[in-house]
Amino acid sequence: MQENVKCLIIGAGPAGYTAAIYTSRADLSPLVIEGMQPGGQLTITNEVENFPGYPEGSSGPVIMEDIRQQAIHVGARLRPGMVTEVDFSSRPFHCKLDDGTEVVAETVIVATGANARWIGMPGEAQYRGFGVSTCATCDGNFFRNKTTVVIGGGDTALEDALYLSNLCTKVYIVHRRDQFRGTMALQKQVLSTENIEVVWDTVPVDIVGVKQGFIKKVTGLQVKDVHSGEERTLEVDGVFEAIGVSPVSDLFKGQLDMNEQGYILTQPGTCRTNIPGVFAAGDVQDPNYRQAIIAAGAGAIAGIEAGRFLMGS
């Protein structure tokens, strides 16, 4: 089946839905392919205090559902599924969906966001889902009244540790430096929470666990002091990795210009990629700020630019 659209939006986080709101209002009748995780990273964020419009803060899923409903309200068409192939070699652009549909689009807005990174410790892969996770809000509940460790020193690590401190008896934070990267408000909260212990200047080495048949269980995290090189094992039931994110851009490799980490390059101050008519917005093109509100702003820019592009200005 072939479908012709004025604007195809790939991705459904703050950037994708905001681009959908702007392109709908510009009469571009956008089609949004929502991917595997509609709502993006905010859907795994528990408390959000810095998204404007929510005086007392809100939860990530609530904010994302509000933006999604707003996109529907102004006429955007949202569809679950994945884009499996894109061809930006000539306009209109040809994009294949996982249900076999070919979408022929006059403009494309890439808003595929970013995914959590894994450290890559030797034993990590075999304990993923058995006590090793990158999502405290998804998996924290399995560790009620247990001991966990969060690895990292950014906002995600601090938020995860605070979230887990309400469920767990004790939470360690293992950070490779002697200073956090996360915002001061979160730092203060973390440092004044009694059941959080920060293990500074320390790197993770490996997951320690036990296996009995198909049952696997984490029992500890082996860590190393960066100064003395001394290794020890923190006895924990769960390990949460919060060491940052990688852009979701593999689909566009070889067609859109990217930096070494895979962030799509856009012309400064715009969302224009190297292909006229293809725009990128949000965490997939933002290695610096990676904030929901900035992704939403970029989605607005991409939406306005797609409209202007089609009007030829």
Residue 20 contacts ligand NAP per CB under 6 A: no
285 DSSP assignment: G
Q: Which is nearer to ligand NAP, 16 or 40 (CB)?
A: 40
Answer for the pair 24, 75: CB distance below 8 angstroms, yes or no: yes
Shortest distance in whole angstroms from residue 204 CB to ligand NAP: 6
The SS3 assignment for 124 reads helix
Residue 50 contacts ligand NAP per CB under 6 A: yes
Q: Which of the ranges 60-68, 212-220, 285-293, 304-312 carries the binding residues for ligand NAP, by CB under 6 A?
A: 285-293
User: Active site includes 168?
Assistant: no
d(CA 122, CA 162) in angstroms, rounded, equals 28
List the structure tokens of 83: 């884009």
By Cβ distance, which residue is nearest to ligand NAP? 154
User: Active site includes 135?
Assistant: yes
Q: Which is nearer to ligand NAP, 30 or 40 (CB)?
A: 40
d(CA 193, CA 162) in angstroms, rounded, equals 8
User: Active site includes 271?
Assistant: no
Q: Which is nearer to ligand NAP, 74 or 125 (CB)?
A: 125
Name residues contacting ligand NAP, limited to 56-115 (CB under 6 A): none
DSSP 244-275: -EEE--GGGTTTS-B-TT-PBP--TTS-B-SS
Name residues contacting ligand NAP, limited to 155-194 (CB under 6 A): 155-157, 159, 176-177, 181
d(CA 106, CA 11) in angstroms, rounded, equals 17
Q: Which is nearer to ligand NAP, 156 or 285 (CB)?
A: 156
The distance from CA 188 to its chain's CA centroid, rounded to whole angstroms, is 24
d(CA 281, CA 108) in angstroms, rounded, equals 11
Answer for the pair 207, 239: CB distance below 8 angstroms, yes or no: yes
User: Which residues participate in catalysis according to the annotation?
Assistant: 135, 138-139
Residues that bind ligand NAP (CB under 6 A): 50, 119, 151-157, 159, 176-177, 181, 203, 242-245, 289-291
